[in-house]
Chain A
């Protein structure tokens, strides 16, 4: 019966836009047929960039009373494409660090950190809460993996310069985030290597690497 508590509100929410604007969000063909105009298929992801021409609900204010007599209808329209980012669950993070750093560099400590990141009971789902302890632990885990990488690769035995840090940050961001970093983000990454000038070259590189892996572009979808 518990699945009903999830399914019914979800179905009600899907119906919220159906009375006069009955294109399911993202159904470009439907929108074209109704509006007779071209529409960009822009996807608003975790880093913003909402597409103003994407279909949006035009019917608001209808209540959708669900279980417990609670109205599950949204009370206000937010900006299109906003608030789509979600924190990666522990089940994903377990393999993410190894995926981006290489299996040999995967941090071992994450296997013991389930209670910190949140592990649901069997057959339940748990929405991760990115608390301060979650993020601090994620940074420590990332640092372990990054240090594994920088101590095993002679490239990182040389202290970073602003040029070499920029090049490496660019490469890492692309690899870790599956997209290019913005100039501001690269500036922040390079800044890490100069913030922490007193440590060994390998650890300075590891701090920069771990910072990229603790940014929202890695920790969230």
Chain B
């Protein structure tokens, strides 16, 4: 659902119930007004004279006053007694005409203005009885009141004949008037329960909605005890039956429509800006977040643009880091394969030569000349390849950083023994004496065992590799207080003084570092130096007199950690 649709629906969702509520409130207010009006009417109408008349002839009383033409025309003089002494019909036009100045309302013009349709003698009696009474002004007063009421009321739209009809009932809710409808049950209940006035909706015989008001009249002085006019029922059409749109409703409807338009209009620019931002975001994403989106506005959309830019910048830097890492890894991989290829080729060369010497001179009886030197070379080469692979893995681990280290208490004595056993075969075949000494008590230090072992192995390998027949290599581990000292000494050709200072410095990127130069430092010592530095150990490589190398690795022992060899 789009934004504008949502906004429009929201406005409608609010407006429609509002309008419905408004019209309901209006109709309820109208109802109250009518109730109040009808009550006032009843109470005003049922004055003492009326009640007396009602009690006198309840079977014909129906709330219509006697014909008193004079009373209907407040300023006009009373007409001659005979002229208007006609049954209600003759008076009716006059009645209507007299009400011409009142708003056109056939129902209300009939109400009370029309004299009751009772017998002439009653009328006359009543008329007579009343002519002198100052009550004459009352109808006018009533009319005025009713007129006022009419003016206030909504009756204008009414075009139906039924007028408010008034019927009298006894306190037993029985009417002597045969025309009177049955007293509505709900009003009866309320009146019986002590209320004086009650209202209820109803339906007339024609099906039109009516409104009934039942009023319990106060006891009449001098009236009958069981008065047939104790309760009065007034009925008039229910104005709520017809839904009328008046000014108020039109106004409310117009306001809601205006609001809807305003909201949709206001949403226009917002939606447009959001669409624009969306386009820019898509473009940025396709561009790997190189171009930022518009983020100048100071409102929420601008904020969104800024937030997106920040996210994009971070993503970009992340992508760059990953790309760089991938590049490094690729370079490393290609270098690795390159580094292994050479010794492998050399090895193949040795083995190939051996095979040739075997096939050239040998036969099934095994009588062949075997170049022992070449065999040894082949073995050395393969030893070198193994060492190289471990070194390359160690270099990768070092490059990955301390996070990849797995530190625990390493038993240095066992480490020395392992390294010595690793290089012993090659040393022996070269006629080099390789030995080691470790203290009886375990000496442990906190280190990554794989890296530390490789570092020590490199020192030993270097000592063996460039030594000659009859030479010696010794690995000695000692403890002094909380320190350990691991020495690898040899009596080989040694390292030129000029190189000594640089020999352990990391030179991973340099080609020279990775090739095997005649002096023979290569990758191994660099790794040894880097491992020592990362572990906080001290590695010193010095010349031994008269010739040879002494490599000393010193560090701190674990005080009381579990031995994990």
Question: Is A bound to B?
Answer: no
Q: A residues touching B (Cβ–Cβ < 8 Å)?
A: none
